[in-house]
């Protein structure tokens, strides 16, 4: 296991969000056929795709390999949360897919997050390209009432910060949080790492099941390095136009 003092290290140069195409991660919460259609349609625009549970549980590691072979960076968003031994093994398997970013739940605690980072460290020592491991704080679909319902009585921002402090101590490479908390977490990590913000909507956009939503430019101005966008692109009549609108909003903030 790694030590408490290990600093979060970001392993992949491709994670630097230079422009909108490096910052926008398109969430493929759909079938393989739809996912490949999205990948072909957005080729030349998007650089990042997100494979979540819907797609991965059906298609397995092959879908990551296929998207990588098309030239995409892949965020494998499996939100791992189990005992440390199991998460260590799951991360080894997830890293072997070639994914660039892998997510775990910070709620799993220090030992679990440390086990995930250890798996990445071991892969790197063995000469493999190891993914960045990032930790989910509080899901953007949850608000304070939803936290109260499960016995967490802290304000959302405080709970997010508590989880981020533990994640930093475990050596995690970045955090997933809403745009409303990202500035504080970026400061906490001394602006080093990946700060990935879902719950992104253009002004007047449909929020769906998301609670803590914000625009791309708001997220960027609060130090998000990446934004995750699913339904606003996948359910748009013109996916390219929807991607371009999100990109234009991101670029509005210099
Ligand atoms: O469709 P929409 O843009 O709301 O999709 C958001 C994506 O971000 C989903 O794939 C979801 O799994 C992911 N996500 C989230 N909240 C988090 C972490 C990830 O909505 N805290």
In the residue annotation, 168 being an active-site residue is answered as: no
- Quote the pLDDT of residue 204: 80
Residue 230 near ligand 1, beta carbon < 6 Å: yes
Closest CA to 137 of 182, 107, 170: 107
* Burial (CB count <10 Å: 0-12, 13-18, 19+), residue 127: exposed
6 annotated to a ligand binding site: no
Closest CA to 58 of 94, 80, 32, 39: 32
82 annotated to a ligand binding site: yes
Residue 198 near ligand 1, beta carbon < 6 Å: yes
Cβ pair 143, 212 in contact under 8 A: yes
| Tokens linked to 105 | 């739940």
Residue 90 near ligand 1, beta carbon < 6 Å: no
Write down the pTM of the prediction: 0.91
Three-class SS of residue 43?
A: strand
Ligand 1 closest atom vs CA 137: 21
Please give the chain's pLDDT, 254 residues, in tens: 333 333 334 443 334 456 899 999 999 999 999 999 999 999 999 999 999 999 999 999 999 999 999 999 999 999 999 999 999 999 999 999 999 999 999 999 999 999 999 999 999 999 988 899 999 999 988 999 999 999 999 999 999 999 999 999 999 999 999 999 999 999 999 999 999 999 999 988 788 887 888 999 999 999 999 999 999 999 999 999 999 999 999 999 87
205 annotated to a ligand binding site: no
| Spacing of C-alpha 44 from chain mean position | 21
């Amino acid at each position: 296991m790694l030590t408490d003092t290990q600093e979060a290290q970001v392993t992949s140069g491709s994670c630097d969000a230079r422009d909108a195409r490096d910052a926008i991660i398109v969430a493929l919460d759909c079938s393989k056929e739809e996912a490949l259609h999205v990948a072909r349609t957005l080729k030349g625009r998007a650089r990042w795709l997100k494979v979540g549970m819907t797609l991965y549980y059906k298609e397995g590691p092959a879908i990551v390999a296929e998207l990588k072979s098309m030239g995409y960076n892949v965020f494998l968003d499996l939100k791992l949360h189990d005992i440390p031994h199991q998460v260590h093994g799951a991360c080894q398997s997830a890293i072997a897919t070639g994914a660039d970013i892998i997510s775990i739940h910070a709620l799993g605690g220090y030992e679990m997050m440390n086990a995930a980072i250890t798996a990445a460290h071991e892969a790197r020592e063995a000469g493999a390209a190891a993914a960045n491991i990032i930790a989910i704080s509080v899901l953007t679909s949850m608000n304070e009432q939803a936290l109260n319902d499960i016995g967490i009585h802290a304000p959302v921002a405080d709970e997010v910060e508590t989880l981020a402090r533990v994640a930093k101590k475990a050596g995690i490479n970045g955090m997933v949080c809403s745009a409303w908390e990202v500035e504080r977490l970026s400061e906490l990590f001394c602006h080093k790492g990946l700060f990935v913000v879902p719950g992104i909507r253009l002004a007047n956009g449909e929020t769906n099941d998301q609670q803590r939503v914000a625009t791309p430019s708001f997220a960027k101005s609060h130090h998000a390095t990446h934004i995750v966008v699913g339904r606003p692109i996948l359910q748009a009549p013109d996916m390219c136009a929807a991607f371009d609108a999100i990109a234009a909003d991101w670029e509005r903030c210099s």
